[in-house]
Structure 1
């Protein structure tokens, strides 16, 4: 079972929960007794980080059969994995593996809901999740976002160009056209993205040659205004709706003319519920 997360990160999670062993299991004398543990979906969800959960259980000393793949839509009762081995291994890895799936299945399920809402209007619309996840868990967030069918908006500052108003505060004497020319000369292989706060700013940036106009906290009506203002340009930009995009309004933003939906909403989704049954074998 392939994992996209470095093994050392998974080892760290297991060590953090049981740095000196499982005192309860050891005190009860159960560590060597054979057992079986089954994870199942207690509610509808999109599976995420399942291979990583299986790896954690294997690191603890169990043998694991994985029953689903990340990105798979699960109904209530669907079996996720089955682990066998000594009770000490099962009980040590239990909560870390369960929590990993629950938290990131919540993110994947939320991302899938936005993807499906947007795709119902226009299959070509892309849903991108921002880098505003909890610091230190980027690898897990990326895996969950992908499982949900979305993409990452920006993995970090090093590989994409996105001009914020905060950048322009230092560039007040430079026109947008000059800014575009300078950036294209410096990074000719990159798309140029700019965040704007109203439709007139967006239209001006599009006329200057920006490839993507990121409309921050626009209403669908404002997106429609921006789309109308840029539609007849020789190179119309991609209009990205950002800020406040969720499953219940994704359709409205797409109908208004957004071709990219930028969202942090999945990171705030509640965990999905995974049931765990452990028994002696």
Structure 2
């Protein structure tokens, strides 16, 4: 499942970071025109992500993909081939590290995401995992692709397209909760309104005011289960500290929305590379 592919201008930017003025070593050795092959393989089990970008990086430098490419979102066993590229050594050396590293980091996010999704669905098949906007700045498009490849969805793509009232917003409000909700509905009638709360009283107040989703930040499982019982009909999102070790418990407690930043901090999944002359 490939959600989308990063555009060429972004891939050119990545190549430009690593090779701003040509590959000095390959040029000085005079081997740039010799034909070769670059094979990428999963060193360990993983959910692959970024293979489409790796292939396109090669194409942008005159390389050709040979054989089948494994699409983003595909679970792979250790040792499985992801992608093979053939062409001049100059292109192979230019693309090698950028393509490898991009797949490693994105596959790390996708693999971590898939583990959280699997845990949540063991608790409740209808439980959804959504990932925050806490990706490393400048990497959003790539990070969101990895989240989608892992089976989750974005919690908030940006401040521009979501309505989420934090305590930090409420510190500036003079209006009542009901008036604040009504204002948001007038101004952004197509958007769901989410309110993050700190305790049961706040949850009840904002649910009664008409919030579509009440978000609970770092609440223990037992407290989440209790509030779900007390607020029937209100969608509850559990956030803060959600990971593969506790997602099943939150899902079993009745929470249908689990908000997580954990995948962005996952370690890369190693991609083994073989570069050989033909």
**TM-score between both structures, scaled by the size of structure 1:** 0.95
Question: Counterpart in 2 of 1:154?
Answer: 156
Q: How does 1:1-281 map to 2 (within 5 A)?
A: 4-65=5-66, 66-171=68-173, 173-231=174-232, 236-281=233-278
The answer (yes or no) to whether the contact 1:199–1:223 under 8 Å persists in 2 is no
TM-superposed deviation, 1:185: 2.0
Q: 1:243 to 1:51 in 2, by over 3 A?
A: same
TM-superposed deviation, 1:2: 9.3
Q: Point out where structure 1 has 5 or more consecutive residues left out of the alignment.
A: none
The answer (yes or no) to whether the contact 1:3–1:52 under 8 Å persists in 2 is no
The answer (yes or no) to whether the contact 1:45–1:74 under 8 Å persists in 2 is yes
Q: Give CA-to-partner distance per residue, 1:106-129, whole Å, 9 cap, x none.
A: 000000000010111211111000
* Distance in 2 (alpha carbons) for counterparts of 1:17 and 1:3: 24
* Distance in 2 (alpha carbons) for counterparts of 1:131 and 1:213: 18
Q: Give CA-to-partner distance per residue, 1:44-101, whole Å, 9 cap, x none.
A: 0001011011111211221113520110000001100010001111011000000000
* Distance in 1 (alpha carbons) for counterparts of 2:254 and 2:204: 14
> CA RMSD of the aligned region, Å?
1.3
TM-superposed deviation, 1:269: 0.2
* Distance in 1 (alpha carbons) for counterparts of 2:217 and 2:231: 17
**TM-score between both structures, scaled by the size of structure 2:** 0.96
The answer (yes or no) to whether the contact 2:40–2:271 under 8 Å persists in 1 is yes
The answer (yes or no) to whether the contact 1:2–1:51 under 8 Å persists in 2 is no
The answer (yes or no) to whether the contact 2:166–2:196 under 8 Å persists in 1 is yes
The answer (yes or no) to whether the contact 1:200–1:226 under 8 Å persists in 2 is no
Q: Point out where structure 2 has 5 or more consecutive residues left out of the alignment.
A: none
TM-superposed deviation, 1:205: 1.2
User: How many residues end up aligned between the 2 structures?
Assistant: 276
* Distance in 1 (alpha carbons) for counterparts of 2:246 and 2:181: 32
1:120 alignment partner, SS class: helix
The answer (yes or no) to whether the contact 2:194–2:215 under 8 Å persists in 1 is yes
* Distance in 2 (alpha carbons) for counterparts of 1:144 and 1:79: 19
TM-superposed deviation, 1:237: 1.5
Q: Give CA-to-partner distance per residue, 1:147-197, whole Å, 9 cap, x none.
A: 0010000000111100110110011x3221222222222222111110011
TM-superposed deviation, 1:102: 0.2
1:61 alignment partner, SS class: coil
The answer (yes or no) to whether the contact 2:3–2:148 under 8 Å persists in 1 is no
Point out 4+ residue stretches in structure 1 off by more than 4 angstroms: none
